Amino acid sequence: MQSYDIIVVGGGFLGLSTAYHLAGMGASVCLLEAGDLGSGTSATCSGRAQVSEGHLDDLNILLIREGLARFDGLQEELGMGFEWQRMPYLCLIRSQRLWDSWAERAAVLTPAGIPVELIGAEQLQREAPHLNMDGMLGAAVSLEGLLNPFRFCWAYAQAAHRNGVDLRPRTPVTAMQVTERGITAVQAGSEWLSAGAVAVMCGAWTPQVTAMAGADVPVHCTHAEAYITEPMPGLFHHTYGLADFYETIHGKERAVAIGFSPEPNGTLIITEAVTRSPDIHRGASFYGVTEISRELQRLFPVLAGARVVRSWGAPTAFTPDEEPVIGWLPTRNNLFVAASLVETITTVPLLGEWMATMLLGGEPPHSLAQFDPARFVEVTRK
């Protein structure tokens, strides 16, 4: 049986970045991915390195600030460009309640090193000349990042490969051998592989994979659809989103909230139509494309007639308390789980390294105890 220090299951942002750092730290690593690398949710997301919309606790703010700083020089470090650019985010505000709440958010984030500025309607109209100003009070402006998520996955994959990671795409894990000592072997295709520790980094598929070890990790998901338009170079220069984006979609059977970014060639990547679905699938719906189109034209009449050239759907994973899970499973000695990050792209260059440190028995520079799966221990033991 082939043996490694660490087996990583899942080849998305989390698995690839962690495998890259593990091998860089000298570990022997095998990464098993059911489909193509990045084919889960990572390569098909919008590519935003969000900074201003997440939780306002100290740890999350630190992860955003220091994660974003890691992008300086990351393309050179990984040896491949992923179209990284800093991009202003205009968070559109249409009610006094949201204006007040973003003023409070700005008052926390700005002194913490993540500047957020509120601008009124007049300045917003100058920044966004195509925006329908009906009901607009203004916007919260922050400077986030934007990248090509497919290239971002590929950059980590290539760098991991150079570091010696045994990358195995199209190799789903189908079973795990569990003893009192923990996970002793993992079945991948017709082979059994063994490792000192197994890291499950399977996004929305996490419960299916941890169930193979008899562990119930409460990661749930909703289905989110995204769309790409034909190129419209020079029309937009910001990422846009509605301040009530998350509350519009939260807990709904189906809903549409608008956010979009211009890619370097002028196509717009537009999110998202959300449906609650027990199945994980890739589909886009008639409901999604028509409702997104209606909402978008209401906000930006200039987009009437713009053609959508591609649409798809992907699962968005979340936990019951909407915090990530990162850490060792209390019921299994050597089984590590990481899923449901909040600002995934922003934080993954930092967390990939920290998770690699944890997998090799070390402590990250700041405790991630807040994300410990042990907080769901009651749930995992049911």
Ligand X SMILES: Cc1cc2nc3c(=O)[nH]c(=O)nc-3n(C[C@H](O)[C@H](O)[C@H](O)COP(=O)(O)OP(=O)(O)OC[C@H]3O[C@@H](n4cnc5c(N)ncnc54)[C@H](O)[C@@H]3O)c2cc1C
Tokens coding 116: 């957020």
> Beta 166-168 vs 29-32: how paired, if at all?
parallel
Residue 224 C-beta: closest distance to ligand X, Å: 4
User: Closer CB to ligand X, residue 30 or residue 137?
Assistant: 30
Figure out which of the listed residues 19, 20, 24, 42 binds ligand X, where binding follows CB under 6 A: 42
Contact call for residue 343 and ligand X (CB under 6 A): yes
Residue 155 C-beta: closest distance to ligand X, Å: 14
User: Closer CB to ligand X, residue 138 or residue 313?
Assistant: 313
Contact call for residue 219 and ligand X (CB under 6 A): no
Residue 170 C-beta: closest distance to ligand X, Å: 9
Residue 201 C-beta: closest distance to ligand X, Å: 5
Figure out which of the listed residues 2, 26, 35, 321 binds ligand X, where binding follows CB under 6 A: 35
User: Do residues 224 and 35 make contact, with C-beta atoms less than 8 angstroms apart?
Assistant: no
Q: Which helix (H) or strand (E) holds 192?
A: strand 191-200
Q: Which of 307, 304, 298, 305 is nearest to 131 (CA)?
A: 298
Q: Which helix (H) or strand (E) holds 298?
A: helix 286-299
User: Closer CB to ligand X, residue 281 or residue 298?
Assistant: 281
Residues 226-265 that bind ligand X (CB under 6 A): 226
Residues 300-319 that bind ligand X (CB under 6 A): 314, 316
* SS3 state at 196: strand
Q: How far apart are CA 164 and CA 27, in angstroms?
A: 9
Which part of the chain contacts ligand X (CB under 6 A), choosing from 41-49, 64-72, 189-197, 276-284?
A: 41-49
Contact call for residue 172 and ligand X (CB under 6 A): yes
Contact call for residue 169 and ligand X (CB under 6 A): no
User: Do residues 85 and 132 make contact, with C-beta atoms less than 8 angstroms apart?
Assistant: no
Residue with tokens 């992860």: 63
Contact call for residue 22 and ligand X (CB under 6 A): no
Q: How far apart are CA 272 and CA 249, in angstroms?
A: 9
Q: Which of 300, 296, 217 is nearest to 258 (CA)?
A: 296
Contact call for residue 349 and ligand X (CB under 6 A): no
Contact call for residue 52 and ligand X (CB under 6 A): no
Figure out which of the listed residues 89, 99, 205, 354 binds ligand X, where binding follows CB under 6 A: 205
One symbol per residue from 272 to 291: x for binding ligand X (CB under 6 A), - otherwise; what is it?
A: x-------------------
Contact call for residue 202 and ligand X (CB under 6 A): yes
Q: Give the single-character DSSP code of 369.
A: G
Contact call for residue 27 and ligand X (CB under 6 A): no
Q: Which of 162, 160, 169 is nearest to 39 (CA)?
A: 169
Q: Give whole-number Cα distances, 66 to 63, 346, 354, in Å.
A: 5, 9, 12
Figure out which of the listed residues 9, 185, 258, 358 binds ligand X, where binding follows CB under 6 A: 9
Figure out which of the listed residues 271, 275, 331, 380 binds ligand X, where binding follows CB under 6 A: 271
Concatenate the DSSP letters of all residues of 307-335 into one string: PEEEEEEEEEEE-TTSS-EEEE-TTSTTE
Tokens coding 331: 């019921």
Which part of the chain contacts ligand X (CB under 6 A), choosing from 63-71, 117-125, 279-287, 335-343?
A: 335-343
List % helix, strand, coil for the chain (3-state, nearest 5): 35, 30, 35
Q: Which of 154, 352, 314 is nearest to 226 (CA)?
A: 314
Residue 264 C-beta: closest distance to ligand X, Å: 15
Q: Which helix (H) or strand (E) holds 241?
A: strand 239-242
Residue 225 C-beta: closest distance to ligand X, Å: 7
Which part of the chain contacts ligand X (CB under 6 A), choosing from 26-34, 109-117, 133-141, 278-286?
A: 26-34
Does the bond joining 272 to the residue before it have cis omega, within 30 degrees of 0?
yes
Contact call for residue 173 and ligand X (CB under 6 A): yes
Q: Residue numbers of the site for ligand X (CB under 6 A)?
A: 9-15, 32-35, 39-42, 45-48, 50, 172-173, 201-205, 209, 224, 226, 271-272, 314, 316, 339, 341, 343-345
